[in-house]
Amino acid sequence: MCGIIGYIGKRQAAAILLDGLKRLEYRGYDSAGIATISDKLHMKKDKGKIEEIDRRLNFADMPGTIGIGHTRWATHGEPSQKNAHPHIDNAGKIAVVHNGIIENYEHLRHFLRSNGYSFYSDTDTEVVPNLINYFMRQGHDFEEAVRSTVSRLKGSYALGIVSLDEPDKLIAVRKESPLIIGLGVDEMFIASDVPAVLPYTKRVIVMEDGEMAIVTSVKAIIKRVDSGEIVERKPLEITWTIEMAEKRGYPHFMLKEIHEQPDAVRETLRAAQKELDGLCDMLLNAKRIYLVACGTAYHAALIGKYALAQLAGMSTEVVISSEFQESCMADEGTVLLAISQSGETADTLKAVRVAKANGAKIACLTNVVGSSITRESDLVCHTYAGPEIGVAATKTFSAQVAYLLSLAIRLAEKRSLKSKKELNELAIQLHKIPETILDTLQIVEPKVKDIARRHKDATNFFFIGRGIGYPIAMEGALKLKEIAYIHSEATPAGELKHGPLALIQRGVPVVAVVVPGASYSRMLSNVEEVGARGGEVIALAVEGDVEVGKHVTELIQIPKTHELFTPLTYILPLQLLAYFISVERGLDPDRPRHLAKSVTVE
């Protein structure tokens, strides 16, 4: 997804912008560019990877101590040099970088064309510098021209803007696309995301919708776009270290993040305790509860549904965000709990808005403080997994699951459906789970690496599970298709006989998620069923389970936990399997093709 970086200070802007762009790479992009200002406006941009573009164009020779940079993920117009950002006005004095979509750009183009302006790209963004130019020609100063421009834009946008006429300021505007201001000493930054500015400062202000910031090298003044009123906001002290956002010696962010799961779960469980009562009250007063999410967060929501039903006797409906508006009914009695790592996923935000418009109450569970979803919600809950750079969600999945398990236990306490003793024991076990995760990682990693080597050339993978094992299987299949580009399909084990079994033949790898509990013996039958048709069963089962071992090709043994906590341990070999197969196939697990970390368009 598009990333914005901006700098104003005493140092050479281009070098800092280039570094910032590299730190935004994980958002996904197809082109990149930089504009700086010295005695004139300089701009370099192109399609491709940042390092290649830099080798071709050499960003380092761009003079100036103020500038903006951008990584683009195409929405309007194909990836190309002309469509890459920044975009400039016809006079070559104003440069703009943009994340989001300007819905009324055709109308604005028409207006500008009728006033003598020409367009050189297919983007929606190009109207912005030209409209600013238009207003400056009417006598507005830079700030006023930006305000007049923005008030005519429909859609979502985070903008970074510089002007040759006022080279001592950088203007940032935010509406429904993330933007932060990094406060340095005699230098300031704007960025789509914190990791871009972390090497330079840990003090950031998160901009809110409808705000613009006039940023000089010594201060940032935030104003409401509509009224011009100044907004006072205390900066946040970011506790993430630079090291937390870097690879810490692991070859890939994904592997580092897989190994960070004990901490992510521990921190989340600790912090959740304070928030849970508010969320419980909201849910207990609801007539209907929706859990809404996409991708991995959707799988965490399915696990949440299972836990809420099993422990708290509460019924919830889990819906993929992009399907919500077509299929769901929300009213004043509805609570929608939106789960989103980034808090910026457009489909989830849309579901939230639809539900809200129908009177529903909104709670969110997100990993990103100050993200868009937090502003749309009546109640905000956080996972504390730290920044996740790998496109494939790993530690944030575990943090979401841990949060939802904690919620289910607290709700069960409030509803007095289980004995205090039983719930206490569960709570104690859950708080010990970070150690079990650590043990599991140590036990399974060498074995999984070996299995990955043997199965790297498979063209199809099946994942089967029952009960809570099914969403685990779904998440395992998603990881494999996402980063190893292998067709992988998760199916409830009981559904095999209704169709998928026809595809099982000699040599087809089938990952069986065999969790303890009520479904165990039925799952065992499914394992046999697959084995009998020649499928190569890779089973995940509790340590010491001799029964499963009799029918499978590979057995991955997982330390024992309560059935409800198995998603936190069983998911580890599945994440590792996808990771090692991706590496074996010579792919980059951190940056899978066609995918972005945070999907901010519907």
Show contacts with ligand M6R in window 129-168 (CB under 6 A).
none
Residue 555 as a binder of ligand M6R (CB under 6 A): the answer is: no
DSSP string of 435-469, one letter each residue? HHHHHHHHHHHHHHHHHHHHHTT-SEEEEEE-TTH
| Binding test (CB under 6 A) with ligand M6R, winner from 125, 156, 334, 342 | 342
597 belongs to the catalytic site: yes
Among 365, 393, 430, 448, binds ligand M6R (CB under 6 A): 393
Q: Does 577 bind ligand M6R (CB under 6 A)?
A: no
Supply φ then ψ for residue 392, to 5 degrees. -75, 125
CA gap 45, 30 in Å, rounded: 11
Q: Residue 392 interacts with ligand M6R (CB under 6 A)?
A: yes
Q: What's phi and psi for 174, nearest 5 deg? A: -130, 130
Q: Report d(CA 568, CA 285) in Å as an integer.
A: 29
Alpha-carbon span 562 to 553, nearest angstrom: 26
Could you say whether residue 295 binds ligand M6R (CB under 6 A)?
Answer: yes
Alpha-carbon gap, residue 327 to 281, rounded angstroms: 26
Nearest residue (CB) to ligand M6R, 368 versus 443: 368
> Which residue's CB is nearer to ligand M6R, number 20 or number 476?
476
* 599 lies in the binding site for ligand M6R (CB under 6 A): yes
Q: Applying CB under 6 A, which of residues 89, 275, 482, 590 lies at the interface with ligand M6R?
A: 482
297 lies in the site for ligand M6R, by CB under 6 A: yes
Q: Which of 175, 202, 305, 597 is catalytic?
A: 597
Does residue number 258 form part of the binding site for ligand M6R (CB under 6 A)?
Answer: no
Residue closer to ligand M6R, measured from CB, 130 or 345: 345
Least Cβ distance, residue 68 to ligand M6R (angstroms): 25
- Of the candidate spans 5-13, 227-235, 357-365, 388-396, the one that interacts with ligand M6R by CB under 6 A turns out to be 388-396
Nearest residue to ligand M6R on Cβ basis: 295
Amino acid in the structure at residue 351: A
DSSP 126-171: THHHHHHHHHHHTT--HHHHHHHHHTT--EEEEEEEEETTSTT-EE
φ/ψ (deg, to 5) at 588: -105, 105
Closest CB to ligand M6R among 212 and 297? 297
Q: Which is nearer to ligand M6R, 341 or 519 (CB)?
A: 341
Per-state percent for the chain, helix, strand, coil, to nearest 5 = 45, 25, 35
Site string for ligand M6R, 495-514 (x = CB under 6 A): --------------------
589 binds ligand M6R (CB under 6 A): no
- Assess 310 for contact with ligand M6R (CB under 6 A): no
Q: Catalytic residue at 2?
A: yes
Residue 345, interface with ligand M6R (CB under 6 A)? Answer: yes
Question: In 10 A of CB 155, how many CB atoms?
Answer: 15
Cβ(580)–Cβ(448) below 8 Å: yes
Sign, CA torsion 127/133/134/135:
positive
Least distance to ligand M6R from the beta carbon of 83, Å? 24
CB of 538 to ligand M6R, least distance (A): 20
From candidates 192, 341, 569, 600, binder to ligand M6R by CB under 6 A: 341
In 562-601, the DSSP E strands lie at none
In the three-class reduction of DSSP (H, G, I as helix; E, B as strand; rest coil), residue 232 is classed as coil
* Binding residues for ligand M6R, total number by CB under 6 A: 16
What three-state secondary structure class fits 102? Answer: strand
Nearest CA to 200 out of 212, 214, 210, 186 is that of 186
Q: Give the active site residues.
A: 2, 597
List of residues contacting ligand M6R (CB under 6 A): 294-297, 340-342, 345, 348, 391-393, 478, 482, 598-599
